[in-house]
Amino acid sequence: MKFPSRSSKQTSGEFSLFRPATRYTISHHVITVTQAEAVAIAEELDGPFQVEVTRNTMSTGFDPDFLVIITHTGIPNEKTVPRAIRAIQDVAGKHRGRHVGWDRLELPPEQKAGRGWLEPDDDDDDSDPMSLPAPLKS
- Model confidence over 91-137: pLDDT tens digits? 999 999 999 999 999 999 875 544 444 445 555 555 555 555 555 55
Rg (CA), the chain: 24
What is the count of structural domains for the chain? 1
Q: What is the pTM of this model?
A: 0.66
Domain CATH for 102: 3.30.70.970
In angstroms, rounded to a whole number, what is the distance separating the alpha carbons of residues 81 and 109? 21
- The helix/strand/coil state of 86 is helix
91 belongs to a structural domain: yes
